[in-house]
C-alpha cells in the first residue's frame, strides 16, 4: 500500500513541477502546430488504462488530416509532417500527458497506454500489463521503444507490472532522459509508427499452457478445498501438483494432496527454512495460508520464500498485523468509515458504562476460541481475566455474514460472495446460505483496496437490523469457500488458468447463485498403523 501512496505522491509532485517548467515550451509547440497544421492543436483519443478502464489521452498533434479518394485516412507516414517528426524524435508530443498524470489516469512510469480495441486481442498474460497504471515512459520504452515488436514490448510491460518499485522507476526515468537525448527507437522498422496490434495470428498454434503447482500451509481438514483445486485442474486442462503441509501426520488433507510434508511448528526457527526447501523441491508457484497464525509469519519472510520462485497469496506485514489484532482491525474499519461494532479495551469501560449484553474475545484469537457473550458486570469481571488480552464489543444478535473476497496476487478483486452462517462449529460454518447485499459488497471492496488484499481473504460482519456491521478480517482462504465455488465463483479455476496462461472469463461481481445452501457432514478416512507411520515419515 505504501508503494502506491508514495508513487502517486511522486506522480503529482513530478507532473505539477514539469507542467510549470515546460509551460513556455508547450506554448511554443502549440503555436508552431497551429501555424503549420491549423487547429486542433491537441490530439485526444480514448486509451485503455489501469485494469482496462478507458480514459482520454492528450498529445500534441503530429499528423495532418489527409484522405485518399475513397475517403479513408492516408497511411501514418504520409500524414506525418516535418514538425510532427521533430516532435516525436524529441518526445515533445507526449508533454500534454502530464495532465493525465496529474489527474491520476496515468503515472510517470508504466506501460504505454494503447488503443481500447486491443483489449480483446491480448492473451491473458499480455493483459497483465494493465495491472498497473499506464505511464509516460516505461520498461519497454527504455529497452527499444517502437523498435521492438509487440510480443517483446508486452513481455517487458508484464515484467514491469510484476517488479514495479520506486528504485526501478527512478532508473527508468533516468534512462528515459538518455534515450530521448540519443533519439533511439522512435520508429518501427519499415514504418514511421508502430503497426497495429492484431492479436494472435490466425492459424498460429496456441501457446502451451504451463504447469502450476500450489501449496497449502496448515492443510488440516481442508479436504473440500483440495478437491476444488483438483476439479479446477481438470476444468482448465493443465497439469500441476497440490502440495500440503502440516504439523500433524493425521491431518486429513495430507492424504489427498499429491505431495505431503510434515513441517516444524510455526514458532520454530526451522519452520521457514523447511518450508523454503519444500517450495524449491516441489517447484511451487503459489502458496496459500489456511489458518490465521500462518499469515504474519509468511508475510514477514516473503523475501526468503519468494526467492525460491514461488509467490505468496499473503498480504503485507502491516496488513497482516491489522488483521491479526482485533483492536487494530476495529480502528482500521472505523478509519475507512465503515459501520462496525462499538469496541473497548478493558481499561476503557469505566468511563463508558456500556449496556449489557456485551461480547468478549481475544485481541489475537482465531477459530472462535475464548469468545463469550457477557450478560452482566460479574461475568465481565470474570471473563476479562479468563480471556487472554481481551477486547470487548457491543453484542450484535446477527445473523453473521461471512464474505469470501477473492483477489488475485495483484490485489484485483475477482469476486465477493456473501453467505449467512446459520450454524457454526469451532468457527467453521456447518450450515450456510449465499445472499446478495450490495452494501456489504461495497464495504468488502473498500477493505480489499485499503489493505490491500493479496489472494483470497474473508471479511466478517454482523447484521444489526437490516444494516451490516463489519467486525473482522481474515487474510487467508476462508473455511466456507466451497459454498462460494459451488455458487459460481470458481476462483481456483480462474487463478490456475491465469497463472497457466489460458484465457480467463471472470463473470461480473455479484453474478453468483443466491439462496444456495451448504449443509456439511462429517466424513472419515482410515489409516492402518503402517500408513500412519508412513505419514509420520513425511519430513524433508
One DSSP character per residue, 270-290 reads THHHHHHHHHHHHT--EEEE-
Sheet holding 286-289, edge to edge: 259-262, 242-246, 214-217, 286-289, 311-312
Cell of 119: 483489449
Query: d(Cα 415, Cα 90) in Å, to the nearest integer?
Result: 45
- Is the model's pLDDT at 189 over the cut of 50? no
Distance CA 518, CA 508 (A): 23
Model confidence at 180, pLDDT cuts 50, 70, 90, reads confident
List, for residues 211-255, the tens digit of each pLDDT value: 899 999 999 999 999 999 999 998 888 888 999 999 999 999 998
Average pLDDT for 346-364: 85
Phi-psi bin for 175: left (phi > 0), alpha (psi -120 to 50), beta?
Answer: alpha
pLDDT of 385 higher than 70: yes
pLDDT at 92 over 60: yes
Expressed in angstroms, the distance from the first to the final Cα of the chain is 36
pLDDT of 200 strictly over 60:
no
Whether the link from the prior residue into 72 is cis, omega within 30° of 0, is no
CATH of domain 342-394: 3.30.1490.20
For the structural domain made of 214-315, what CATH number should be given?
A: 3.40.50.20
Q: Which of 234-248, 262-276, 421-435, 522-536 holds the top average pLDDT?
A: 262-276
Contact by Cβ (8 Å): 245, 275? yes
Query: What are the backbone angles phi and psi of residue 322, rounded to the nearest 5°?
Result: -65, -45
**Which residue in 186, 197, 250, 195 sits closest to 223, CA to CA?**
250
* pLDDT greater than 90 at residue 476: yes
Contact 238, 501 (CB under 8 A): no
CATH topology of domain 398-519: D-amino Acid Aminotransferase; Chain A, domain 1 (3.30.470)
Name which of 169, 131, 122, 137 is nearest 145 in CA terms.
137
At 145 the pLDDT is 65
Question: Residue 229's pLDDT is what?
Answer: 94
Q: For all residues of the chain together, what is the average pLDDT?
A: 86
Confidence category of residue 208, pLDDT binned at 50, 70, 90: low
Enumerate residues 6+ apart whose C-beta is below 8 A from 271: 263, 264, 265, 297
Per domain, the residue ranges of the chain are 2-182, 214-315, 342-394, 398-519
- Asked if domains 214-315 and 342-394 share a fold, the reply is no
Higher pLDDT, 13 or 177: 13
Query: Could you tell me what percent of the chain has a pLDDT over 70?
Result: 91
State pLDDT tens for residues 368-380: 788 888 898 899 8
The pLDDT tens digits of the residues spanning 505-514 come to 888 888 899 9
DSSP string, 378-428: HHHHHHHHHSSSEEEEE-----EEEEEEEE-TT--EEEEEEEEEEEEETTE
CA distance 445 to 441: 6
pLDDT higher than threshold 90 for residue 398? no
Confidence of residue 26 (pLDDT cuts 50, 70, 90): confident
Quick one: pLDDT at residue 470? 96
Which range has highest mean pLDDT (293-307, 387-401, 489-503)? 293-307
Arithmetic mean of pLDDT, 67-84: 63
Q: Would you state the pLDDT for residue 245? A: 96
Of 27-41, 67-81, 141-155, which range is least confident?
67-81
Q: Return the pLDDT at 73.
A: 58
Kindly indicate the confidence band of residue 496, based on its pLDDT and cuts at 50, 70 and 90.
very high
Amino acid at each position: 500500500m505504501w508503494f502506491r501512496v508514495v508513487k502517486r505522491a511522486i506522480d503529482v509532485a513530478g507532473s505539477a513541477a514539469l507542467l510549470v517548467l515546460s509551460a513556455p515550451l508547450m506554448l511554443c509547440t502549440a503555436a508552431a502546430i497551429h501555424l503549420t497544421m491549423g487547429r486542433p492543436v491537441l490530439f485526444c483519443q480514448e486509451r485503455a488504462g489501469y485494469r482496462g478502464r478507458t480514459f482520454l489521452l492528450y498529445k500534441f498533434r503530429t499528423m495532418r488530416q489527409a484522405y485518399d479518394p475513397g475517403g479513408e485516412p492516408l497511411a501514418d507516414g504520409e500524414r506525418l509532417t516535418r514538425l510532427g517528426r521533430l516532435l516525436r524524435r524529441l518526445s515533445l508530443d507526449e508533454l500534454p500527458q502530464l495532465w493525465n498524470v496529474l489527474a491520476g489516469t496515468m503515472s510517470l512510469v508504466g506501460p504505454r497506454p494503447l488503443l481500447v480495441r486491443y483489449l480483446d486481442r491480448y492473451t491473458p498474460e499480455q493483459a497483465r500489463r494493465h495491472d498497473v497504471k499506464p505511464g509516460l515512459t516505461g520498461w519497454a520504452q527504455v529497452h527499444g521503444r517502437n523498435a521492438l515488436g509487440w510480443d517483446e514490448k508486452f513481455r517487458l510491460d508484464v515484467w514491469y507490472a510484476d517488479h514495479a518499485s520506486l528504485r526501478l522507476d527512478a532508473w527508468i526515468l533516468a534512462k528515459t532522459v538518455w534515450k530521448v537525448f540519443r533519439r533511439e527507437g522512435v520508429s518501427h522498422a519499415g514504418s514511421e509508427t508502430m503497426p497495429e496490434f492484431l492479436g494472435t495470428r490466425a492459424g498460429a498454434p496456441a501457446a502451451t499452457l504451463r504447469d502450476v503447482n500450489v501449496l497449502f500451509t496448515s492443510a488440516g481438514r481442508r479436504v473440500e478445498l483440495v478437491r476444488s483445486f483438483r476439479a479446477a485442474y481438470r476444468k482448465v486442462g493443465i497439469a500441476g501438483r497440490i502440495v500440503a503441509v502440516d504439523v500433524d501426520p493425521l491431518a486429513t488433507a495430507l492424504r489427498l494432496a499429491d505431495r505431503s510434508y510434515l513441517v516444524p511448528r510455526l514458532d520454530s526457527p526451522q519452520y521457514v527454512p523447511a518450508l523454503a526447501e519444500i517450495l524449491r523441491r516441489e517447484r511451487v508457484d503459489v502458496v496459500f495460508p489456511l489458518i490465521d497464525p500462518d499469515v504474519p509469519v509468511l508475510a514477514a519472510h516473503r523475501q526468503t520464500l519468494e526467492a525460491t520462485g514461488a509467490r505468496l497469496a499473503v498480504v503485507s506485514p502491516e496488513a497482516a498485523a491489522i488483521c491479526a489484532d482485533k483492536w487494530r482491525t476495529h480502528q482500521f474499519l472505523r478509519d475507512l468509515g465503515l459501520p462496525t461494532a462499538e469496541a473497548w479495551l478493558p481499561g476503557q469501560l469505566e468511563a463508558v458504562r456500556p449496556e449489557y449484553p456485551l461480547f468478549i474475545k481475544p485481541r489475537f484469537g482465531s477459530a472462535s476460541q475464548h469468545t463469550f457473550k457477557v450478560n452482566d458486570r460479574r461475568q465481565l469481571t470474570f471473563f476479562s481475566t479468563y480471556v487472554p488480552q481481551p477486547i470487548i464489543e457491543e453484542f450484535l444478535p446477527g445473523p453473521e455474514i461471512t464474505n469470501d473476497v477473492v483477489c488475485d496476487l495483484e490485489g484485483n478483486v475477482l469476486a465477493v460472495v456473501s453467505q449467512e452462517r446459520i450454524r457454526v462449529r469451532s468457527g467453521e460454518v456447518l450450515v450456510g446460505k449465499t445472499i446478495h447485499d450490495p452494501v456489504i459488497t461495497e464495504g468488502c471492496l473498500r477493505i480489499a483496496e485499503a489493505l490491500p488484499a493479496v489472494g483470497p481473504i474473508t471479511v466478517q460482519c454482523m447484521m444489526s437490523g437490516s444494516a451490516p456491521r463489519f467486525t473482522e478480517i481474515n487474510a487467508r482462504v476462508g473455511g466456507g469457500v466451497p459454498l462460494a465455488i459451488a455458487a459460481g465463483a470458481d476462483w481456483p479455476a480462474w487463478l490456475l488458468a491465469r497463472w497457466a496462461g489460458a484465457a480467463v472469463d471472470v463473470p461480473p461481481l455479484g453474478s453468483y447463485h443466491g439462496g444456495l445452501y451448504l449443509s456439511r457432514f462429517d466424513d472419515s478416512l482410515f489409516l492402518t498403523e503402517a500408513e500412519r507411520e508412513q505419514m509420520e515419515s513425511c519430513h524433508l
